[in-house]
Amino acid sequence: MRHPARSLLSLTLLLSLLSGAVAWANAPMVPLEDLKPLPEHRRATRLTTHVISNYHYRNVPLDDALSKKILTRYIDALDPARSYFTQADIDEFNQHATRVDDYLRSSSLNPLFEMFVRFRERLRERVDYAVKAVDGKFDFNVDESFDFDRKDAPWPKTTAELDELWRKRVKNDILSLKLAGKPQKEIGDTLKNRYNGLYRRTAQLNSEDVFQTLINAYTTSIDPHTSYFSPRTSENFKIRMSLSLEGIGAVLQSDNELTVVREVVTGGPAEMSGKLHADDRIVGIGQDDKGPVVDVIGWRLDDVVDLIRGPKNSVVRLQVLPKGTALGGPTTMVAITRNTIQLDEQAAKGSVLEVKRGNGVAKIGVITLPTFYMDFEARSAGDENYRSTTRDVRKIIGELTAKGVEGLVIDLRANGGGSLSEATELTGLFIGPGPVVQVRDSQGRVQVERSTEPEVAYKGPLMVLVDRNSASASEIFAGAIQDYHRGMVVGEPTFGKGTVQNLVDLNRFDQSMNGKLGQLKATIAQFFRVSGSSTQFKGVEPDIGFPTVDDEDHGERSLDNALPWAAIDPARFTPVNFSPARIDSVRALHEKRVASDTAFQALLASERAMYDAQQQHSLSLREDKRRAEHDKARTEQRERENQIRVARGLPPLPADQLTPEDEEEDDEFSKPDEKDKALDVVLTEAGNVLTDWIHSDGTEQRLVDNESAKRAPGGGVTQPARQTPAEVR
């Protein structure tokens, strides 16, 4: 699956409550002659190029080389599947390949707007063809295929080639709905509405939308985390960054005309339902319990967001193509009640994991940390009881210690970051005062962020559990624990997001524009561990890596123009002494155990199957073959799920006789708490590894005590840790 940063039209939003009805339904179509740059766009262009040229961490000159990249990204944003433009269109556009830099410097954007006008004209032609093709005759016994991933395919040379591409696309859409059990009349109506809606929504894109797309072709040619937000998008970004959120609690992205769930927010209604997951694709939306389901394939992300938003306590029904299910496969219906995302649900939580050891059990404490948070408003107001990650974890440590745990696991799986100061201070609970992370800005100046915790809160055996979605602040914490040798890091290599972004409100430079200039999110600095190694690109490599699918399309390394790994001088710090040979012996026990663990192998097989489905680039248009593929994938997934359940002492799921809708209503097997520990194969193995470490032969790890922590020398700059809010995402 394509990464979100590769789709320039994608707009990542956290769904939240906004008043008002769906805006797109009554929005007027924009006349082609109105699609031209406005004065605010020319002003925003000058400010954006100035900020990037003077303050961006990566110094990339705005020259002919960059101009070619910008044009390519702009064209890819308009037509990522190469199914609208012909090679003749591309040849015409390429005459501007070395001029885009000149257009940006002079704020002369008309040629780029004219390319969008051409795109809209070509889309109208394709929609007209598709609507007529729906009423044609299709033979589903012919052995042919539809290539839906054409990002690297050659541009069609003729209109006839485009017609053939769209004939197969329409045939695929009909077959998908047919396999879903839709009657023929409904299939025709659904697809005609889908295609006409695609044009209608594109025709409603205004100059602001075009400007945001072309400027982001520029910003993401510098690095994937630099982007421009139009005034409307800026408002949505503010909603996303707020602490009190109402909606379903999901981050969405647009990918090849599908709406993909990028992230399910901990504590939100979607996460609490247990039925919506990252990489699921939303293909239809219904309101309330029985409202009609609106097909949203091909919709703008803004419009999908508008449909999902709604009042607190109201119900939205999502028709979902589950993660790992091939396009055109069976869908499920997920009903979610919109609500407020509670900070308590995102807070750290403690639990005790009982690990079998001989004839008894070992108690392992687990602290699950979904994000690094602090209630800055309460703290600023002088509230002595303000919530923060470090405060909550310190309290949980006391509670778990009182229960007699032998070791502690800090679970950072899917933790995408948060407050830099909290990542720094949390590290101090385990190392005491000392340097935690180094930050280098665009001028090459290095500042050391230091823990100010006066003493160690926990001195026992420690493990940090990470996965490929542990990012930013999570990588700072895990990297520091690893560099200090204070504990083991286990799991998967982390995401590799080691850069710092700053949000610049362009309106503060020109009040005369009345708030029309938008905002720029620009990369201004890079993180480095106390060892001098960057967390950027490579992430944190675990001391003991769990078996996983090597997905090159995930993480920072999959992003175009990502900053490379780098290193600087290490800070001065005192690591804990431990024997590397002891890690080797524990790793050997782990590898032997998982090789024969039915549940772990079933989990790994599920990941491989999902990865293989995501790597699929074409679909058979032969009905019997397509149906057989769906049935086979469904049966194999059910078998793998039951292998995990039986291995963990749970009853198998019912025989695969239920429809997706019936399964969605089968609450006995969908409650999140029923699956928590028994089915968390990775956490169970993490407990085994830590228990092996605690009871292994050899010299025990020399744990940090209060006095040695107080004596730990600092390094580099000696400023205290930041006391102002700093978000690390």
DSSP for 653-672, please give it.
PPPS-S-HHHHHH-GGGT-H
The amino acid at residue 562 is A
DSSP 3-state assignment of 331?
Answer: coil
* Residues facing 259 on adjacent strands: 254, 282
pLDDT higher than 70, residue 677: no
Same domain, 68 and 171: yes
Residue that finishes a domain, picked among 339, 365, 389: 339
Q: Please say if the pLDDT value at position 568 is more than 50.
A: yes
The pLDDT of 304-330, averaged and rounded, is: 84
247 domain-assigned: yes
More confident residue, 426 or 250: 426
β-bridge pairing 488-491 and 418-419: unpaired
- pLDDT, position 262: 80
> CA–CA separation, 619 vs 327, rounded Å?
8
Residues 318 and 364 in one domain: no
Mean pLDDT of 175-190: 92
**Mean pLDDT value of segment 246-262:** 78
Catalytic residue among 295, 411, 483, 680: 483
Considering the domain architecture, whether residues 412 and 297 belong to the same structural domain is answered as: no
Q: What is the pLDDT of residues 510-564, one digit of tens each?
A: 999 999 999 999 999 999 999 999 999 999 999 999 999 877 778 999 999 999 9
Burial of 58 (0-12, 13-18, 19+ CB in 10 A): middle
pLDDT at 227 over 90: yes
429-447 in b/e form (b: 16+ CB < 10 A) is: bbbbbbbbbbbbebeeebe
Q: For residue 614, what pLDDT band results from cuts at 50, 70 and 90?
A: confident
Q: How far apart are CA 73 and CA 96, in angstroms?
A: 13
Respond yes or no: is residue 178 known to be catalytic: no
Average pLDDT estimate for 369-394: 88
CA distance 13 to 419: 19
Tell me which of 134-148, 206-220, 490-504, 643-657 is least confident: 643-657
The token pair that represents 560 in the structure block: 């175009």
pLDDT tens track for 428-453: 999 999 999 999 999 999 999 999 99
223 phi/psi in degrees, rounded to 5: -160, 155
pLDDT of residue 650: 87
- Is residue 57's pLDDT more than 60? yes
* pLDDT for res 725: 38
How many beta carbons lie within 10 A of that of residue 81, not counting itself? 16
Residue 481 sits in which domain range?
A: 347-578+701-728
Picking from 670, 673, 642, the residue whose alpha carbon sits closest to that of residue 656 is 642
* Residue that is last in its domain, among 339, 366, 383: 339
Q: Is the residue at 373 inside a domain?
A: yes
Question: Which of 167, 196, 225 lies at the terminal end of a domain, its last residue?
Answer: 225
Residues 333, 351, single domain; the answer is: no
Q: Please indicate, yes or no, whether residues 132 and 162 belong to a single structural domain of this protein.
A: yes
pLDDT band at 623 (very low <50, low <70, confident <90, very high): very high
Q: Does residue 519 sit in the same domain as residue 393? A: yes
Q: Are residues 457 and 564 in the same domain?
A: yes
Contact 350, 326 (CB under 8 A): no
The pLDDT assigned to 591 comes to 97
Total number of domains constituting the chain:
3
As a whole number, mean pLDDT of residues 573-581 equals: 85
pLDDT of residue 345: 67
Q: What is the mean pLDDT of residues 92-103?
A: 98
What Rg, from alpha-carbon coordinates, does the chain have?
Answer: 27
Residue 164, both tokens? 């053939």
In a domain, 2, yes or no: no
pLDDT at position 92 over 90? yes
Per-residue model confidence (pLDDT) at position 16: 28
Residue 687 belongs to some domain of the structure: no
Q: Which of 472, 474, 531, 606 is catalytic?
A: 472
What pLDDT is stored for residue 342 in this prediction? 60
Question: What is the token pair recorded at 620?
Answer: 């058979």
* 260 and 195 fall within a common domain: no
Is 533 catalytic? The answer is no
CATH number, domain containing residue 268: 2.30.42.10
Question: Measured on CA atoms in the order 572, 574, 577, 582, is the torsion positive or negative?
Answer: negative
427 plus 567 within the same structural domain: yes
Q: What is the DSSP string of 564-627?
A: PP-B-PPPP--PPP--HHHHHHHHHHHHHHHHT-HHHHHHHHHHHHHHHHHT--EEE--HHHHH
Mean pLDDT of the residues in the chain: 85
**Which own/partner pairs from 350-358 qualify as long-range (CB within 8 Å, at least 24 positions apart)?**
350/396, 350/399, 350/400, 351/677, 352/400, 352/403, 352/405, 353/409, 353/677, 353/683, 353/684, 353/687, 355/684, 355/687, 355/688, 355/690, 355/691, 357/691, 357/695
Of 68 and 12, more confident:
68
Do residues 488 and 546 share a domain? yes
Same domain, 521 and 496: yes
What pLDDT score was predicted for residue 279? 85
Q: Is residue 237 part of a domain?
A: no
Q: Of the residues 178, 497, 521, 538, which is catalytic?
A: 497
Confidence (pLDDT) at 22: 34
Q: Is the pLDDT of residue 381 over 60?
A: yes
- Annotated active-site residue 106? The verdict is no
* 356 assigned to some structural domain: yes
Q: Is 10 inside a domain boundary?
A: no
pTM, 2 dp:
0.81
Residue 195 near residue 161 (C-beta atoms within 8 A): no
Distance from C-alpha of 153 to C-alpha of 83, rounded to nearest angstrom: 10
Whether 235 is covered by a domain: the verdict is no
Provide the CATH number for the domain around residue 463: 3.90.226.10
221 and 247 in a single domain? The answer is no
Return the minimum-mean-pLDDT range out of 208-217, 621-630, 715-724: 715-724
pLDDT for residue 257: 75
Return the minimum-mean-pLDDT range out of 66-70, 233-237, 250-254, 516-520.
233-237
In the predicted structure, residue 17 carries a pLDDT above the cut 70: no
